[in-house]
Amino acid sequence: QTKIWNVDSVVGNSQDYPQLTEAAEFLRKGEVVAFPTETVYGLGANALSSEAVQKIFAAKGRPSDNPLIVHIADIAQLEALVAEIPEIAKKLMDAFWPGPLTMIFPKKEGIAPEVTAGLDSVGIRMPSHPVALSLIRQAGLPIAAPSANRSGRPSPTTAAHVEEDLLGKIAGIVDGGPTGVGVESTVLDVTVNPPMILRPGGLTKEQLESVIGQVAVDPGLLEEKERPKAPGMKYQHYAPKGEMWMVVAPTVDKQVEAIGSLLAEAKSAGKKVGILATEESSTKYPQADLVVPCGSRADLPSVAHHLYDALRTFDQERMDYILSESFPSDGVGMAIMNRLMKACGHRIVGSDPSRNLSN
Ligand code: TXA
Ligand code: MG
């Protein structure tokens, strides 16, 4: 039996929500509870309890070598969790917390070993969603929380997505409406110099660099041959059940044209074809069985916001072949392209995506 609590929140509100009293109690008793953050829904448990954290891995079907992010509501909680706070991290906290930035610190004893999957570092973030902050505050605990999806599925951006994957498997779900950013937090290792992005996310490389100067990107994210440094980045992820291909071309028009001819081919082979398009191009594929407009090309954050719901739609509508447009990889486009590459299992048509259109 999964309990559901509805909370209407107001962005920027720092009050505590009385509707969260019971969810906070569940967390203190060692149960797992899903809750909204500004990025995606998280599946939370007491980060100091092995027993509680093990329930997260069980509910998700998550490999035990993949560490979890610890969520805090207050800078004061940080000192009990980390052995050292690098100067550069302090600058980033001032600039971007609360917000979609996870930093990797050397860990202190006390965190359940399952949280860090045996590593001597720990990822920590302070989410900006008022419901997440209120829940953590009321629980009075650091909360370990991965995205609240079954392992391998797209991360949930609505409570309905969480229900699809985890209803009956977890103690409760806090429904705070759709999340804002739509892709996960940016994971940044601040123990190395220059700091290195291990997972591109809602906070862009450009934003980080505006505060601390040069930032590196894990080569494992760009080169298929290299092993990514964040354990979670090596897994197949976000993939719809149908065979998905990403189409890369030097201009938007050529991209639409290339998708059009692959679409015609697939249709004559009798396939049920879905297209991940944009508002600008969604009328250009009349032969497709399903066209999912995923935000506007002129507004990449809107693409991020709709991305995971779009990927889930292809499964709901049982598409067996999916063609996706591609995007410039600056700004939040870096996270969008990273997730699309994983969703299509690196099946790419066209030129090298690192030389993709920069319209
Ligand atoms: O936006 C988000 O970050 C969401 C919300 C719920 O906060 N959480 C999330 O967690 O995306 P999860 O578990 O789905 O992804 C965490 C990623 C994984 O790729 C994991 O391998 C990496 O962060 N990670 C966690 N701790 C790490 C560590 N100590 N060193 C390297 N990578 C780490
Ligand atoms: Mg995840």
> What are 55's two structure tokens?
């329930």
Mutate to test the pocket of ligand 1, among 184, 196, 197, 342 (most ligand atoms within 8 A of CB): 184
What is the 3-state secondary structure of 221-247?
HHCCCCCCCCHHHHCCCCCCCCEEEEE
Task: Return per-residue pLDDT of the chain as tens, 359 residues.
Answer: 999 999 987 766 678 899 999 999 999 999 999 999 999 999 999 999 999 999 999 999 999 999 999 999 999 999 999 999 999 999 999 999 999 999 999 999 999 999 999 999 999 999 999 999 999 999 999 999 999 999 999 999 999 999 999 999 999 999 999 999 999 999 999 999 999 999 999 999 999 999 999 999 999 987 777 889 999 888 778 889 999 999 999 999 999 999 999 999 999 999 999 999 999 999 999 999 999 999 999 999 999 999 999 999 999 999 999 999 999 999 999 999 999 999 998 899 986 555 444 33
Sheet of 348-350: strands edge to edge? 290-293, 273-277, 321-324, 243-248, 348-350
Please name the amino acid found at residue 76.
Answer: A
Q: Which residues contact 88 (CB under 8 A, 6 or more apart)?
A: 190, 195, 212
Q: How far is the CA of 198 from the centre of ligand 1 (A)?
A: 9
pLDDT in tens, 237-262: 888 999 999 999 999 999 999 999 99
Distance 315 CA to ligand 1 centre (A): 25
Report pLDDT digits (tens) over 77-117: 999 999 999 999 999 999 999 999 999 999 999 999 999 99
- Determine whether the shortest distance from the Cβ of 151 to ligand 1 is under 6 A: no
Q: What residue's CA is closest to ligand 1, atom 7? A: 42
Whether the CB of 42 sits within 6 Å of ligand 1: yes
Pairing between strand 216-217 and 273-277? Answer: unpaired
Q: Confirm whether the ipTM is greater than 0.85.
A: yes
Atom index in ligand 1 nearest the CA of residue 233 equals 19
C-alpha span between 17 and 14 (Å, rounded): 9
Please answer whether residues 121 and 104 qualify as being in contact, where contact means their C-beta atoms are separated by less than 8 angstroms. yes
Residue nearest to atom 3 of ligand 1 (CA): 185
Strand 216-217, strand 196-199: pairing: parallel
98 lines ligand 1 (CB under 6 A): no
